[in-house]
Structure 1
Amino acid sequence: MVLAAIGQICSSASLSHNLAQCQKLVQKAVAAGAKALFLPEASDYIASSPAESVELCQDVSESPFVQGLQEAAQENSLPINVGIHEPTNPPSKRIRNTLIWIDHKGNIAHRYQKLHLFDLDLRPTGPRLKESDSTEPGNEIVEPYSTPFGRVGSLICFDLRFPEPALRLRRLGADVLLYPSAFTVPTGKLHWEILLRCRAIETQCWVIASAQCGKHNGRRVSYGDTIVITPNGRIAGRLEHVENVEDEKEQAREPDILTVDIDLEAVKQVRHSIPLQRRTDVYREV
């Protein structure tokens, strides 16, 4: 078993503030003896508008947020998985929503770009969020990479609603699936836990879902409920979530971590006990 630290924060539009929050979690993870820290989607910033999001976006070579985490990873010999924003290549009026793995030497060793963008309209009772207004979708499922926790497959937030990428990563050898997120409160209450458990059960993988939590600005609140699911669909641990949007105060929540022992024997056991032999002869393989 290997101990993982899974972080929950409430990012704002200030990269320096968000870096300080994440640095606190690095120290908590180190103190707990964790072998890696997993941080949420958009840990570098959550803006109040698509225009502000594009304005705040920086290349990793220039981002004080990313550079600060690279230094923290190197100084503490602690790998860090974190969701950030990056410019498109070639540059455009949109950005990329990515997940990077910073290894224990501070190098960016893996990168995944979010495939499915969050276009939501719950008006008049809920929010309207259209990620595609400012974000370029990714175009590939990236092969799982090796870590102390086995082979890890990267996905982000809205990807959770689609089983196909998770199944593909399982076939590519994933032992663990990541879903760093910034779920809205209405959709979080309805779908967050049940979708995470479904992805774990159908792939027989550990699922690690670090989450944004709380009121980021006057327009945006994230559900929270950072959670880890075992390969047989049980909840191994979780942090708190937003109960009532009206009670939330902007940037009032303190960053926190959940620590869970990731046991790869559990992956072997459930796959041996309930082998999932797909009938690819009668349906098209995803």
Structure 2
Amino acid sequence: MAIAAIGQLCSTASVTHNLSLCQKLVEKAAAAGAKALFLPEATDYVASSPQESISLALPMEENPLVLGLQWEAKKAKMAINVGIHVPASNGKILNRSCWINEDGYIVSFYDKLHLFDYGALKESNSVEAGRKIIPPIDTVVGRVGLTICFDLRFPEISLALKRQNAQIITYPSAFTVPTGRAHWEVLLRSRAIETQAYVIAAAQVGAHNEKRTSYGHSMVVDPWGKVLLDMAGEGTEPEIGLVDIDLEYREKIKSQMPLLRRTDVYPEI
């Protein structure tokens, strides 16, 4: 059993400011004995326009927030999962989730496959969609599959990670308030139930600027679909929640209810 920390914060357009918030979360998580800290989508910045978002993006190895978190991970001996932006080759950016191990090295990253085009928010105006699912990675808290936010609405990616024995699936997010109220919990619980994996969704919270507000309610759901953690959706102070990841419990759930797909009737997704 391992302790995982889930960080909730309100990122702004200032990468330096956001790093300072993350450093506070790292300190709290390390003091609590966490083996890993999960941070939201777009932790490095939330811009007020597509143009600003593109202008702020830096390569992963030059991103001050990533470099700062690599140092913090090594110092605290704690893995960190964080959502960032990086430039794409076509002038847009990639929405990326990266895994920094407890030695401070980036050992895996994933670029968001499904882009959020809803109402006035058109992520595709500035973001290039990723092109592949990344195999789960072995970490200090278990075998982790990386996804991001809007991917939550598409079970194909989580089922693909399940087939590769993902014990934990991450959904770092910046959900809008209307979609969060309507769908956040039910989607997270659905993904956990159908994959029999822990689902960890660190979320942005509060007003980032005059145009953008996030739902919050960072959540962890266990392999039976039980909500272990639901953080508040009010306020913007950075905070952490803690959960125990019990991989033996996951194996018990799997053995008691085998989910064997009828591939003779329909092909594997």
TM-score, normalised by the number of residues in structure 2: 0.98
Distance in 2 (CA, whole Å) between partners of 1:168 and 1:34 is: 28
Q: How big is the shift at 1:198?
A: 0.1
Question: Which residue of structure 2 lines up, in the alignment, with residue 248 of structure 1?
Answer: none
Letter aligned with residue 15 of structure 1: V
Distance in 1 (CA, whole Å) between partners of 2:80 and 2:180 is: 25
Segments of 4+ moved more than 6 angstroms: none
Give SS of 1:12's match: coil
Deviation readout 1:83-136 (Å, 9 max, x if unpaired)? 000111xx3320000000111111111100000000001xxxxxx100000001
Give SS of 1:3's match: strand
Question: Which residue of structure 1 lines up, in the alignment, with residue 217 of structure 2?
Answer: 225
Question: Which residue of structure 2 lines up, in the alignment, with residue 274 of structure 1?
Answer: 257
Q: How does 1:70-149 map to 2 (within 5 A)?
A: 70-88=70-88, 91-121=89-119, 128-149=120-141
Q: How does 1:157-196 map to 2 (within 5 A)?
A: 157-196=149-188
Question: Which residue of structure 1 lines up, in the alignment, with residue 64 of structure 2?
Answer: 64
Q: How big is the shift at 1:74?
A: 1.1
Q: How big is the shift at 1:222?
A: 0.2
Q: How big is the shift at 1:23?
A: 0.4
102-111 vs 47-56, which deviates more?
Answer: 102-111
Letter aligned with residue 198 of structure 2: W
Contact 2:79–2:140 (8 Å) recurs in 1: no
Distance in 2 (CA, whole Å) between partners of 1:101 and 1:59 is: 15
Distance in 2 (CA, whole Å) between partners of 1:135 and 1:106 is: 27
**5+ residue gaps, structure 1:** 122-127, 243-251
Corresponding position: 1:284 with 2:244: no
Distance in 1 (CA, whole Å) between partners of 2:178 and 2:71 is: 37
TM-score, normalised by the number of residues in structure 1: 0.93
Q: How big is the shift at 1:241?
A: 1.2
Q: How big is the shift at 1:160?
A: 0.1
Distance in 2 (CA, whole Å) between partners of 1:61 and 1:194 is: 36
**5+ residue gaps, structure 2:** none
Distance in 2 (CA, whole Å) between partners of 1:28 and 1:226 is: 16
Query: How many residues in Structure 1 have an aligned counterpart in Structure 2?
Result: 269
Deviation readout 1:199-240 (Å, 9 max, x if unpaired)? 000000000000000000000000000010000000111210
Q: How big is the shift at 1:269?
A: 0.8
Corresponding position: 1:38 with 2:21: no
Question: Which residue of structure 1 lines up, in the alignment, with residue 55 of structure 2?
Answer: 55
Distance in 2 (CA, whole Å) between partners of 1:139 and 1:98 is: 12
Q: How big is the shift at 1:61?
A: 2.0
